[in-house]
């Protein structure tokens, strides 16, 4: 009986240690190895602008594949070019870009329009921006 209780205790302790190790590995792989986004402001003439700054804090290149706002009230764009503004109004037309280690990029927050009215005027006050990214890895060439 004492041996069975000891084996069960060792099994439970081993399971807990394994769970903690797995969570630490998950945190290291996914939480630390991602780009960071922050909100910042700037001006263009008399107009105040709001940006989302995306910074690559990893040692790898990061490709930002897509950036969207969950409720479809706003979109992110690089600048005021007509093509970029039209792409932003259209879902799924985001132009991907790469960030080298330590680089950052500011994306301008612009409102979406529906039937000639800004969607932000319709009462949606809470916004969530989602960034879809992919991390590259440094691969050494193999010698044959």
Q: What is the pLDDT along the chain (144 residues), one digit of tens a residue?
A: 456 677 778 777 777 878 787 777 666 556 666 788 888 888 888 889 989 999 998 888 888 888 887 778 888 888 888 887 877 777 667 788 899 999 999 988 888 888 877 777 766 667 788 888 887 655 545 444
C-alpha 28 chain-centroid distance = 16
Structure tokens at 112: 């979406």
- 36-135: CATH topology: Immunoglobulin-like (2.60.40)
Q: What is the CA radius of gyration of the chain?
A: 23
Q: Cα separations (Å) of 122 from 86, 89, 109, 113, 127?
A: 21, 17, 17, 10, 13
Domain boundaries, the chain: 1-31, 36-135
**Phi, psi torsion values for 41, nearest 5 degrees:** -125, 160
Q: Are 108 and 49 in contact (CB under 8 A)?
A: yes
Q: Are 66 and 94 in contact (CB under 8 A)?
A: yes
CA distance 103 to 105: 7
User: What is this structure's pTM?
Assistant: 0.66
């Amino acid at each position: 009986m004492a041996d069975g209780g000891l084996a069960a205790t060792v099994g439970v302790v081993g399971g807990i240690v394994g769970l903690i190790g797995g969570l630490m590995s998950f945190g290291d792989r996914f939480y630390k190895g991602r780009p960071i986004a922050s909100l910042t402001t700037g001006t263009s003439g008399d107009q105040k602008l709001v940006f989302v700054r995306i910074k690559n804090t990893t040692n790898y290149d990061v490709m930002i594949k897509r950036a969207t706002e969950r409720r479809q009230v706003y979109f992110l764009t690089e600048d005021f070019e007509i093509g970029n503004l039209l792409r932003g109004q259209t879902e799924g037309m985001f132009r991907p870009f790469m960030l080298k280690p330590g680089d950052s990029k500011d994306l301008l927050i612009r409102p979406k329009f529906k039937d000639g009215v800004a969607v932000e005027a319709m009462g949606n006050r809470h916004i969530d921006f989602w960034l879809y990214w992919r991390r590259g890895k440094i691969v050494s060439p193999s010698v044959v």
